[in-house]
Amino acid sequence: MSATYLIPSTTSSAAFFRALAIASTARSCPRHALRTFSSSIGARQSGKRDLYTTPSYQPHSLPTDFPLPPRNADVPDTSIAGPEPQPHNTTKQQQNAPQKSTSGETASISLPEKEAQKPKPVQPPQPAEAKSTKPRRSKLRPRKAAMTITPTALIHLRELLDQPNPKMIRVGVKNRGCSGLAYHLEYVDKPAAFDEVLEQDGVKVLIDSKALFSIIGSEMDWQEDKLSARFIFKNPNITEQCGCGESFSVS
């Protein structure tokens, strides 16, 4: 199919030759121009396909004869090696600093595993030297007597105890008198389970366990006048006493 071009009648020589060249090219190779256009489009599309389909990461396999480092290369033969290894990223100042050896550090000499596992003989502990220690003195002090007896009272107690049938005298209290309590003395054959035994100058006197709180710290004496003779007690625990001195009360 031939293309028709209209050439103006009045043109310059340059325009005329340009139009003539275009017309001759269109007549000679119309198919070549179409093929060139289509091939350029395919080339651009193939370039885009390669751009999208080709991955950026391409794996590489190591060769089979690649030398691997030996296992436990940096670890000594035995675990009793010494101080812990320093990390690889230490500074140069730490590497150049002199290492000070102390007595508490472990030995850096590595031992074979078999020698390290061998049992070593254990020395028996040496017996400590016997220290010459003096026997400790007991800090327990003798307990103060619950009641004291005057020499005059001791004489009369001996006379009362010096009988064919020896008996013991027990000192107690009874509820009597205007103040509430009064001393009471009686003969007994043997002490009760919780009686306190008071011995002074060979004379034994029993103190009733129920009256111990009331008469503790008292002094037993003998008083004699023209009308009567009796044992009296000087009790520091008395808080109230009647006028006749027979009864008393303690707080």
Report DSSP state, residue 182: E
Dihedral sign for Cα 103, 105, 106, 109, please: negative
What pTM, to 2 d.p., does this model score? Answer: 0.41
39 lies in which domain range? 17-50
Domains contained in the chain, number: 2
d(CA 191, CA 195): 6
Per the domain annotation, does 155 fall within a domain?
yes
Choose the weakest-confidence range: 83-87, 209-213, 247-251.
Answer: 83-87
Per the domain annotation, does 94 fall within a domain?
no
Q: What is the CATH number of the domain that holds 226?
A: 2.60.300.12
pLDDT in tens, 191-231: 888 888 888 888 889 999 888 888 888 899 999 888 888 88
Per the domain annotation, does 63 fall within a domain?
no
Choose the weakest-confidence range: 13-17, 72-76, 225-229.
Answer: 72-76
List for the chain the helix, strand, coil content (%; round to 5).
25, 20, 55
Per the domain annotation, does 44 fall within a domain?
yes
Q: What residues form DSSP beta bridges with 147? A: 218
Q: Is the Cβ–Cβ distance between 83 and 106 less than 8 Å?
A: yes
Max mean pLDDT among 111-120, 141-150, 212-221 falls in 212-221
Backbone angles phi, psi at 152, to 5 degrees: -65, -40
Per the domain annotation, does 74 fall within a domain?
no
What's the confidence (pLDDT) of residue 106? 46
Per the domain annotation, does 196 fall within a domain?
yes
Per the domain annotation, does 185 fall within a domain?
yes
User: Based on C-alpha coordinates, what's the Rg of the chain?
Assistant: 65
